Structure 1
Amino acid sequence: MKRLEQIFVTLNGWALVLMLSGMALVVGANIALRYLTSHSLPWADEVARYLMIWLTFTGAGLILRVGGHVAITNLQDALPSVGQKMLRAAIVLILLAFFGFMVQVGWQYAQRMQFQVTPALRLPFLYVYAAMPVGFSLLIVHLLLIARPFILAGDYKALDASDADHHALPGGANG
């Protein structure tokens, strides 16, 4: 199971690297063309915007794993150990319910938008809005993978020295 989790995290990370690289290439090429030829790619801004949307939704789960989202811990810190565990378990259940709801809402919205197309690429908006249910599905998987240590100890999948080689950047390249 640990190996499958590692593969899942690595694939999620590589997807983000590829999207960010694609966005950087398109924006860079558009800037270069604009200054060198006085012409720009009419679809570059659209591609960059949609890649940013996909980056945001698909990257949220990786940030959740390491506790990178905003958290207010005053109540948790004021509770005894058992109360802290119960609060964290309730938080996990609430998040799972919310993420599941957002998958459903995102899918419904994406389906409603399937017949509209983007202005420059003429791509069905279904592909743009699919980022929401995909991203929240990834959040569910990531939350389920970290739920036990989070509930029991309040720990996230923090990157320690041995873990950093495998998870800091996809493929273990830490630059």
Structure 2
Amino acid sequence: MDASEHRIVEELDAPPTVPRLTGVAGRVIGWLDTLLITLATLALVGIAATVLLQIAGRVVLPSSPPWTEELSRYLFLYMVALSSGVVIRRHRNVNVELFHHWMGPRARAGYQALIGLLTGVFALIVLPYAWQYAANGVWQTSPTLKVPMLYIFFSTVVLFALVLLYSALGLVEGLLAIRRSPSQADTETP
């Protein structure tokens, strides 16, 4: 691949971002990112182990354990919920990048602030309903694991709380980047 093709691939692969928070706030968010990614990875490993146990149970044992499919589903829910905020922070969610490369640093910052605001407002509206949904699980238990469904339904609360938190973070980072002096904004790379 020549230099121009490599540059085009990098522009397509790496979405333009604004500078992240630094200092104590940046370190705390970094630790939270690491914790959430670790928990989501453990959930993914749990899914793989559960599915392998189910396959082995079908092949080797007279019958496969009935709880494996249910556990893998619940682990999947928590994997998605726990990784949702970090996906937003790293700009790895599905989006359409038709005009990002034409934007300057301040326009990218404004765009990130706008997306953070809209996503955060949506999560703020949905969060109380997610809590109501989770509260419905108090009177129910899962069919095979006999786990209170409150713990399973609570994954929606975790999801929307993290989306709200990370959207607010994107909004703050975008607004701070807009306020930077033009000389700072022009010299920074996305």
The reply to whether TM is greater than 0.5 is yes
**Structure-2 residue corresponding to 1:14:** 38
Among 134, 137, 145, the alignment partner of 1:113 is 137
Say whether 1:72 aligns with 2:82.
no
SS of structure 2 residue aligned to 1:39: coil
Distance 2:164 2:45 in 1: 26
SS of equivalent residue, structure 1 residue 114: helix
Shift of 1:127: 1.0
The letter of the residue matching 2:64 is: S
Q: How has the CA–CA distance of structure 1 residues 66 and 84 changed in structure 2, closer, same or farther, with 3 Å as cutoff?
A: closer
Match runs of 1:7-156 below 5 Å = 7-74=31-98, 86-151=110-175
Note if contact 2:84-2:159 (Cα within 8 Å) is conserved in structure 1: yes
The answer to whether the Cα contact below 8 Å between 1:103 and 1:134 also exists between their aligned partners in 2 is no
Q: TM-score, normalised by structure 2?
A: 0.70
Match for residue 159 of structure 1? Answer: none
| Cα offsets for 1:105-146 (capped at 9, x unmatched) | 111111122211111111121111100111111122222333
2: CA distance, partners of 1:151 / 1:81: 12
Identical positions, percent: 27
Q: Tell me how many residue pairs correspond in the alignment.
A: 154
Contact 1:26 1:44 in 2 (8 A): yes
CA contact (8 A) 2:54 2:64 kept: yes
1:90 is displaced (CA, Å) by: 3.2
Q: Give the aligned CA root-mean-square deviation in angstroms.
A: 2.6
Give the greater-gyration-radius structure (CA).
2
TM-score, normalized by length of structure 1?
0.75
